[in-house]
Structure 1
């Protein structure tokens, strides 16, 4: 894909001054292999000027010397994106400027470049996705303080991304964002919520108290307090802190043993034995695995069969992909229920899969709506190939709360 050429001109010092030679570039950068690259034409209106033309891409390349001119290129790679021209200051006069003209690359080469870029992005997504999945699996299996502290770290980063989205040009142009000190305090409060949940078992009073303190800080601030500041801040406490804390309730507070689990029977005693496999652990593993399956199958189904857009909020989502994701989510829930022998009822397993799918879908759509209003593609750039933390955990925000309510209130004896 053609990109704008950047030209840098420098010259050695002469009498404590630096003079720059005017250069004009009449092209866009050409990305191509050397064997296919069209000719580069250097038109000099002043033969006495000692000009060096370099094509750089940040890696080692071969060089071609032609009198006073030098061209660098990468023989096995791609021609450069940066054009750098240098001229000797002692030869600069008042003559006419030099014009550098570089031809455009062929469409075939541009297509090859796009293919390589997509392949590189896919490789990053796979590598970092596997790393995140393995790490998350270990954290879920460990549970306790490890799980809660890891969740607190994710919540803190995600809340920072949320408040940056609120302050972005797309959203801030239509509403007044909260002051930075308020958003930072809210991020800390959100990060503490899963720890309070682990220690106290519930955080309803703590969340209400935190919301009251934040509201008073906004109302008593200097200037003209706005309702948009209050609404975006209170929603941030709910969205980034309160809802994700239900994962701690699901994983760490449902301690009834999953006695029929075959996996638990073979679990090493030094790692906790069968007692380690609680209803909370099994429910968390099934819920997370179902969400991953739903996202993966929906993406594949949408790519292969997607025709009808699901919603204008996320134009790339299709009804065909959503149906495929639903089927994958239910199938994963039923399969894992057989492996873990939980929940005991097939209908309960299917219902758990349905709940996980719709909770993850609407969590994804909600974050897409926020990003659309903010005018950004990703919530951040922390994870190469994936975007920000919110881009990876948006499907899990509502799921933990609904999964906990389903197991705690709707399944008799917690589904055992």
Structure 2
């Protein structure tokens, strides 16, 4: 093979985007100490360097926006001694840089996964303790979550993607609505029913929008009233489910050993068990849907969320029903397996609908996450979207469908 100084490379064309990159080389017998090539176009800050290999030679290019990459040139052995004519050579990207990029991407995803797991476990353990305690602790915690979620909702409404097609409500109105939404779980705890309160709040908000300066728009009214319903009224059904269904769950083993200081047997009510089963079923549905979609997902479920597949949805439904049935056996509630399966169906479809609704709002807003409050998980709405409708569905099911609340 000839010495490195016997090769010179002539760059015919370079594109701003490096892939695909093609170069033509002229192999000549001039003894040129050519080692570094700089493109003639000053707008492209690219530096090429030659290096010899046993079966050819390589080109290294450096760019401020990219890592150092290697281009390997394969030259035919007969072309090594060609003196007067040009020979076209194909240039391919070396695997070294792509492997380095892949390693960096893998480390980034591993870090995100670890962060998601740590914070997910922390949130899950905390939520489990809050559900077990119930009462004002449960209601105040839910009120804080509702306030944060409503703030994220109104920020989405004001985002460029949604606001470009409609007029968002004024900031003072959205802030007042966030406070009203946060008060709804507390009113539900002490009053039981909040229908009159919600109607009164909606009337006051509507009057504030209609009497504002400027030109009131229907989009302001519709987005605000929906915010009261979506962020405040629907989550309040979890308080009704956990704290207002006080019928004791009979024949439950854990209740017999529960400490008297913590409420004893009476602490394990229908509301507590229904809440635990619902939350556990939703977690199982999300987990099974994610795993099933990763392993078998092929058929898109809907254009609202392209990552969701029918295979993942079927896996999520199966996991939700199985979890509901198993926990009903553990807690001896509900006594009918058909009722447990019905709860599983409601939990799954409620969680799926809530997830898709939030995905639709984010899609129109043009954002990936509703916020960044929870590291590795996004915003509050990203974590609780599956729970918005399920509380109301399960409460209605237990209260109106199950005879004697399923006892």
TM-score by length of 2: 0.78
2:45 counterpart residue number: 26
Segments of 4+ in structure 1 off by > 6 A? Answer: 38-42
Instruction: Give the deviation of 1:185 after TM superposition.
Output: 0.1
3-state SS of 1:258 partner: coil
3-state SS of 1:106 partner: helix
1:62 counterpart residue number: none
1:151 counterpart residue number: 142
Q: Deviations over 1:104-143 (max 9, x none)?
A: 9811100111111111111011000000000000000000
3-state SS of 1:383 partner: coil
Distance 2:256 2:240 in 1: 24
Aligned pairs, number: 329
2:264 counterpart residue number: 273
Instruction: Establish whether residue 297 from structure 1 lines up as the match of residue 277 from structure 2.
Output: no
Quick one: which of 218, 227, 230 aligns to 2:221? 230
Change (3 A) 1:40 1:318: closer
Q: Deviations over 1:39-84 (max 9, x none)?
A: 8989xxxxxxxxxxxx9xxxxxxxxxxxxxxxxxxxxxxx99xxxx
Quick one: which of 209, 218, 235 aligns to 2:209? 218
Higher gyration radius (CA)? 2
Distance 1:279 1:211 in 2: 32
Change (3 A) 1:253 1:222: same
Asked if 1 retains the 8 angstrom alpha-carbon contact of 2:46 and 2:62, the reply is: no
Quick one: which of 111, 133, 141 aligns to 2:102? 111
Distance 2:171 2:62 in 1: 53
Change (3 A) 1:189 1:106: same
1:262 counterpart residue number: 253
3-state SS of 1:387 partner: coil
Unaligned runs of 5+ in 2: 1-42, 48-58, 69-94
2:299 counterpart residue number: 308
3-state SS of 2:335 partner: coil
Instruction: Give the deviation of 1:26 after TM superposition.
Output: 2.5
Distance 2:291 2:61 in 1: 43
Unaligned runs of 5+ in 1: 1-23, 29-37, 43-54, 56-78, 81-103
TM-score by length of 1: 0.76
In angstroms, what is the RMSD of aligned CA positions? 2.2
Distance 1:40 1:316 in 2: 37
2:54 counterpart residue number: none
Q: Deviations over 1:320-363 (max 9, x none)?
A: 00000000000000000000000000100000100100000000
Please list, as runs of the form range in 1=range in 2, the aligned pairs for 1:4-403 lying within 5 A after superposition: 26=45, 106-403=97-394
Distance 2:108 2:186 in 1: 41
